Amino acid sequence: MSTQRSKKKDKDGVCGLFFLRNILTIFNIIFWFSGATFLAVGVWTMVAKHSYVSLLSNDMYATTTYLFLATGGFIILVSFLGCLGVWKDSRVCLVIYALFLLLIFLLEAISGVLAYMYEGAIRGELSRNLNDTMLQMYKIDPDKTRSIDSLQHDFACCGSRRFEDWQYSEWISTFNTSNIVPDSCCISYRLKCGERDHPSNINSPACIDRLEAYLKRHLIIIGGIGLGLCCLQIFGIVFACCLSMKIKEFRQ
């Protein structure tokens, strides 16, 4: 009778071990794809009109993006560690894997919270700094000049709040130019097209409104993904700990 119970216990242990291995393997596949998602969103945020970030006065937006990229790369590496722990039945790998999952949970939560915090503050920052940056740095700082021209051309806008802002710029007061606004303000771009400020010639929308809407869209996506996917790590931690305990029981 005791032999039968022992056999049943061994069978249940093997079945439980097999089940947890499969569950954790499936989780790692999903986990790997979540890391790829983090990397893709980070790269998209960096590449898509990234030059506009230089017009912001603080590094919060860039920091959130870099944190997303780092988290995505870290997730992909950790997913391989999890698979190694499953394939080798290594309790050490599984424990380290669970600790890394906890760290990733914190990184994802932080990046999501930072994105939502900055999304709420972006209007105030742009109101305080964008106009000064455009008026003081255009044609003075080459990098800022390229960013401002790209901003006005890509978003079909002119000036921070209105196109008349340009008459107070360092560019107008310092350089001998016949332009009233930069050529990047023009509806149809051509050299010296900024000499006429007629509504049929230049874009009238304010750049601050369009840049704010653009940055907010990016930050909402980053925040949603960061906070949404961080919950995934909880399941991984539970599965890894259960598998580690099951391996210990099976080896005794």
3-class DSSP string for the chain: CHHHHHHHHHHHHHHHHHHHHHHHHHHHHHHHHHHHHHHHHHHHHHHCCHHHHHHCCCCHHHHHHHHHHHHHHHHHHHHHHHHHHHHHCCHHHHHHHHHHHHHHHHHHHHHHHHHHHHHHHHHHHHHHHHHHHHHHHCCCCHHHHHHHHHHHHHCCCCCCCCHHHHHHCHHHHHCCCCCCCCHHHECCCCCCHHHCCCCCCECCCCHHHHHHHHHHHHHHHHHHHHHHHHCHHHHHHHHHHHHHHHHHHHHC
Mean pLDDT of 144-150: 90
pLDDT band at 31 (very low <50, low <70, confident <90, very high): confident
Number of domains in the chain: 1
Domain that residue 96 falls in: 2-251
pLDDT band at 49 (very low <50, low <70, confident <90, very high): low
Both tokens assigned to 186: 């023009």
**Range with the largest mean pLDDT of 46-55, 135-144, 211-220:** 135-144
155-184 pLDDT tens trace = 999 999 998 889 999 998 888 888 899 999
Output the pLDDT for position 21: 83
Whether the pLDDT of residue 246 is over 70: the answer is: yes
Output the pLDDT for position 148: 92
Q: What percent of the chain has pLDDT over 70?
A: 90
Return d(Cα 215, Cα 207) in angstroms, integer: 12
Both tokens assigned to 31: 């986990």
CB 233 within 8 A of CB 108: yes
CB 139 within 8 A of CB 171: yes
Output the pLDDT for position 252: 61
Output the pLDDT for position 251: 66
**Residue 176 CB neighbour total at 10 angstroms:** 5
Output the pLDDT for position 158: 92
Output the pLDDT for position 104: 87
Mean pLDDT of 196-202: 85
Predicted TM-score (pTM) of this structure: 0.73
Output the pLDDT for position 6: 47
Both tokens assigned to 80: 């391989």
Mean pLDDT of 2-27: 63
Closest CA to 247 of 12, 17, 1: 17
Closest CA to 25 of 80, 98, 107: 80
Whether the pLDDT of residue 237 is over 70: the answer is: yes
Output the pLDDT for position 72: 86
Q: Chain-wide mean pLDDT for the chain? A: 82
Closest CA to 134 of 153, 160, 154: 160
Least confident stretch, 30-44, 85-99, 114-128, 159-173? 114-128
Whether the pLDDT of residue 129 is over 80: the answer is: yes
